[in-house]
Chain A
Amino acid sequence: MPQPTDLLQGTLDLLILRTLVLEPMHGWGIALRIQQVSQEVFQIGQGSLYPALHRLEYKGWIRADWKASENNRKAKYYSLTRTGKKQLEVEIESWDRLASAVALVLEQG
């Protein structure tokens, strides 16, 4: 099994935004989802998720509300704002550009 790749700087933001497109989610859910969807490639340091979430919140890309969770506990749910949605498009586009550029280099290599 390959070693889990270290999260690139800035990739975490993209992953969080992408995860939140579907529905509002709390921190643990986001961590779980990223892990599952990436088939355990991204092992998020769960502790470092929260500073990232707060940073995005301060930027106004996501919003947080306290709501009751599925097991009826009070949890903080993050959801994408309008700016966040726009930002996600920008991030995806720049990621694509980066990925195709890297792919190009690898093929040529």
Chain B
Amino acid sequence: MLKEFLTRLRFFIAGRSHDEVDDEVRFHLEQQIEANLRSGMSMEEAQRQAAIAFGGVERTRAQCREIRPGYWLESLLQDIRYAIRSFWRNPTFSLTVVLTLALGIGSTTAVFSVVDRILFRSLPYGDSDRLVSVGLIAPIEPEEFMLGGSYYEWQDNQKPFESMTSEIGAEPCDLTEHNPARLDCARVEGNFLPTLGVSPVIGRNFTANEDGPNGPRTALISYGLWLSRYRLDPSVVGAQIRVDGEATEVIGVLPKDFEMPRLQSADILLAQRLDVAAQRHADPGHPMWAFARLKPGVSAAEAKAALGPLFEYSLRLAPAPFRKEVHLQVRSLRDRQVHDVRLAAWMLFGLVLAVLLIVCANITSLMLARGASREKEIAVRLALGVGRMRLVRQALTESLVLSLAGGIAGCLLARILLRIFVAMAPDGLPFLSKARIDLRILMFALAISILYAVLFGLLSGIRKVGLEALTGRTRTALRHTVLRRWLVIAQIAVCMVLLAGGALLARSFWNLDKQSLGMNAENIVTASIALGQSSYPTPESQMAFFQRLERNLRYGPGIAAFAISDSLPPGGYHRDQVYASLRVEGRPALSSGTGGTVVSRRVTPEYFQALQIPIVQGQGFTDEEVRSNDRVVVLSRSLAGRLFPGQNPLGQHLHLHNGAAADADPTYTVAGVAADVKNGGLAEGDEPEYYQLRREQAQDWDRSAVLILKTTLPPGATEPWIRSQVASLDPTVPVDVKTLSEKVGKLADRPRFEMLLVGFFALTGLLLAVIGLYGVISYFVVQRTQEIGMRMAVGASRADILRLVMVNALRLIVPGVLLGMALALALSRLLSSLLFNISAQDPITFAGVTGLLILIALLATLIPGSSAARVNPMIALRHD
């Protein structure tokens, strides 16, 4: 066996010249002729008999060549050379195929990379499929949470879980050592890491004692922090660090890929040190987020059912108005992480599928056209004795070369597209920035291109070509013409769906972008500041800092107005509470239900002036009130209308925390009514809102605040000045300076991303569909050149011919558009949750898209149409 292989290898490498076979055959014939001569034949007869005895010399030569090892490679190379030569002769065709494939494979691969990271990535926890997120959902907080008053009861009495754990959130914290740093500290229960199935790379987890309220302070640090601050020095375990002024011992380092289950960023993990005994009796207790590991074989739904009695217990603790609106939620951790990304991911998937459909249709139709135009050539080769297998192989080789070229171009395109996606994507899409084109995905793309190759190769190779094709007068192409027409109709239909989706999202984005925010975000620079816990431990010191900062900034160059608030419209963080907790003095509170959410902000008087929010009733806040002890509020117009229907709200008295102890629920006087401002994000509905006055009293201040500066100078000049002013007061205080327009723009990132993505695919689809249509119509024109010539010869005008071509095109366009419209109307409902202020079946959009598609499609037929009209009848008729 080995010997045979080696022998073959030797011949494979050394080869054997054709002359050698020729010499051998010549010698044979000469010997035979001599023998014949000896037996008394004439020279002529001897030669004739020798040739007869030998049989076909050419056949022997061919057979000898075919059994040579390496013959397959030789013929493959020959096929490839032939393929490249024939592509070279027809560059438009080859380029179209390669580009079409590249677009298809490129967008598929890029999107697959993205979707893979979002939907199918493995979570960095042990046996992560058994991890669930457990909690209550309420209108005010649609993502499940827990409360200390219930959590420990659940933890003790639950049945479906192996273990249950909690975290109480991640917050900014300060590393107060030499070289201080602002970090994120997450506080977690002692059993947090074991429940998630995570073990520290070095060091250990918290002990039960360390999680107690009086235990020693300990921390685990993230791998990133270990790398950047301690240069992977293992002696960090056991070292003392100061977190917010408290001496804390580092007991371990988290794995490199560790992430919090809710994906908050966390540099330091601290034990949450809650007083469990106190929490059990607290009402409602500390807010927290709970995660659990299911027992083997238990599903999330079964766990939810099993938690029923415990949920009933928690409901009894809740205030009556809430009970109907609180629900139990148990879902896989993955679901919690991707829930609102899932729609976007599936949308992407759908888009790619649509483009892929168009690509396939296009390639098939191009290959069919090419096959039809090469019928004659194939017939000639068959007649010359080329084996059919060889023809099929040749066809396969050609498509393989094409699709590999397309595949490689597609991989390049995928890299570029992925980079564009990542650059465009809003922050809210988790993991996108980590998306890579990995080997699996590359293989996926190559597999697709090879699949294409085999498919098209067989399609064009298997076709039976009769010898009558030699005459050039066959109509076998007719059958394929019908198939091609359907392919174009399908392309136009899919393209219509893409365009309709793109147009809907574009108009929705336009509405979003052009909507009135209820304020003027122009020339507003904002600075968000959070003071360190240890440097500014008391509200007094915090107020003093902000007041000094205000004095330094208020009369700076170009500052027209200055205000301090705790949050900013139109989106992002703000304080909120339920409507039921507001009570007008002298009236009973809302008896049933929560009444929905009410937003509130604590602001200085110039807030309304800075943001140009009109005060529609009363006078808003005054500087006298800032220095007084009065408690005043300004209501938004919608809140005033709801609390005081048909009455004058000014001077009315109001309680803001109904149900709390009397000293925590003072009486406020309504000082004015402000116009409504967008406050629930850009796309979501607005909530009623009230503003409390931020007075010169420590109780009105806390660690964080956002400064609002209306400036007459360009914001670019104001920003560094604000930074320097903050730094001159305290260089360790981090400050985040942004214009309000930037902040608003960031809120629109997501819809912009969605619109651009769909738009990109819609344009790609349109381009491909136009190419497909153009191809079919040009083919139609070439095929009918003779007929056109005949028509012209019997008196048809150029306009008649153009009309003939156009009518033919319309026969493809109209059914395609109608089909697409039906599909788009059915599918656009899926988009409706992404649309803002526009119906998913908006007639104007659909009419516009239809018109556009028909127009572009007709334009695509104009080129072949006009070339048909220029046909010279004399030449056309002579054409065989």
Contact = CB atoms under 8 A, between A and B. Distances in A.
Interface of A: 26-28, 31-32, 45-48, 50-51, 54-55, 57-60, 69, 71, 73-76, 83
A75 B27 contact: yes
Interface stretch (B50-58, B157-165, B708-716): B50-58
Q: Which 4 A-B pairs have the closest CB atoms?
A: A47-B55, A60-B7, A51-B63, A47-B60
A8 B393 CA distance: 30
A96 to B, nearest CB: 24
B60 A48 contact: yes
A59 B7 contact: yes
A3 B715 CA distance: 107
Given A46-B28, A48-B63, A83-B4, 15 more contacts: A26-B28, A27-B27, A28-B28, A28-B32, A32-B35, A46-B53, A48-B60, A50-B21, A58-B7, A58-B68, A59-B7, A60-B3, A60-B4, A71-B34, A73-B30
Contact of B8 (A45, A46, A58): A58
Given A54-B68, A58-B69, A27 B28 contact: yes
A33 B30 CA distance: 17
Q: Quick one: which of B3, B28, B57 has the most chain A CB within 10 A?
A: B28
B24 interface: yes
A27 B11 CA distance: 20
A58 B11 contact: yes
B31 interface: yes
B276 interface: no
Interface string B52-81: 011111011001101111000000000000
Given A46-B55, A51-B60, A58-B68, A28 B27 contact: yes
22 contacts: A26-B31, A28-B31, A32-B35, A46-B28, A46-B53, A46-B55, A47-B59, A50-B24, A50-B63, A51-B63, A51-B67, A54-B64, A57-B7, A57-B11, A58-B68, A59-B7, A60-B4, A60-B7, A73-B30, A76-B23, A76-B27, A83-B3
B459 interface: no
B84 interface: no
Nearest to B60: A47
B119 interface: no
Contacts of B67: 51, 54-55, 58
B38 to A, nearest CB: 12
A58 B69 CA distance: 8
Contacts of A60: 3-4, 6-7
B3 A48 contact: no
B25 interface: yes
Nearest to B61: A50
A10 B380 CA distance: 35
B239 to A, nearest CB: 73
Nearest to A46: B54
Contacts of A51: 60, 63-64, 66-67
A55 B35 CA distance: 27
B57 A47 contact: yes
B116 to A, nearest CB: 48
A71 B54 CA distance: 21
Interface string B436-472: 0000000000000000000000000000000000000
A28 B55 CA distance: 14
A50 B7 contact: no
Contacts of B20: 76
Nearest to B57: A47
Contacts of A47: 54-57, 59-60
A71 B579 CA distance: 119
Interface in B156-178: none
A74 B24 CA distance: 9
B64 A50 contact: yes
A50 B23 CA distance: 12
B199 to A, nearest CB: 60
Nearest to B52: A46
A72 to B, nearest CB: 12
Nearest to A55: B67
A76 B21 CA distance: 10
B732 to A, nearest CB: 83
Contacts of B35: 32
A83 B11 CA distance: 17
A55 B27 CA distance: 19
A10 to B, nearest CB: 15
A56 to B, nearest CB: 10
Contacts of B60: 47-48, 50-51
Contacts of B25: 50
B54 A74 contact: no
A27 B32 contact: no
Q: Quick one: which of A47, A51, A73 has the most chain B CB within 10 A?
A: A47
A71 B34 CA distance: 11
Contacts of B30: 73
Contacts of A83: 3-4
A67 to B, nearest CB: 11
A48 B55 contact: yes
A26 B23 CA distance: 12
A40 B128 CA distance: 81
Contacts of A27: 24, 27-28
Q: Quick one: which of B25, B27, B30 has the most chain A CB within 10 A?
A: B27
B23 to A, nearest CB: 7
Contacts of A55: 67
A32 to B, nearest CB: 8
A83 B7 CA distance: 12
Contacts of B3: 60, 83
A85 to B, nearest CB: 13
A99 B522 CA distance: 103
Contact of B27 (A48, A54, A73): A73
Contacts of B27: 26-28, 69, 73-76
A59 B4 contact: yes
A12 B34 CA distance: 25
A91 to B, nearest CB: 15
Interface string B697-722: 00000000000000000000000000
Nearest to B27: A75
A75 B69 CA distance: 23
Contacts of A73: 27, 30
A81 B628 CA distance: 117
B121 to A, nearest CB: 52
A76 B19 CA distance: 13
Interface in B14-42: 20-21, 23-25, 27-28, 30-32, 34-35
A13 to B, nearest CB: 13
Contacts of B8: 58
A23 B57 CA distance: 27
A47 B3 CA distance: 28
A47 B67 CA distance: 14
A9 to B, nearest CB: 15
Contacts of B59: 47
Contacts of A26: 27-28, 31
B14 to A, nearest CB: 12
A60 B54 CA distance: 25
A5 to B, nearest CB: 18
A28 B23 CA distance: 13
Contacts of B55: 45-48
A81 B557 CA distance: 102
B211 to A, nearest CB: 77
Contacts of B6: 60
Given A45-B55, A47-B57, A48-B60, A74 B68 contact: no
Contacts of B7: 57-60
Interface in B309-365: none
Nearest to A51: B63
Contacts of B57: 47
Given A59-B7, A73-B27, A74-B23, A46 B63 contact: no
Contacts of A74: 23, 27
Contacts of A54: 64, 67-68
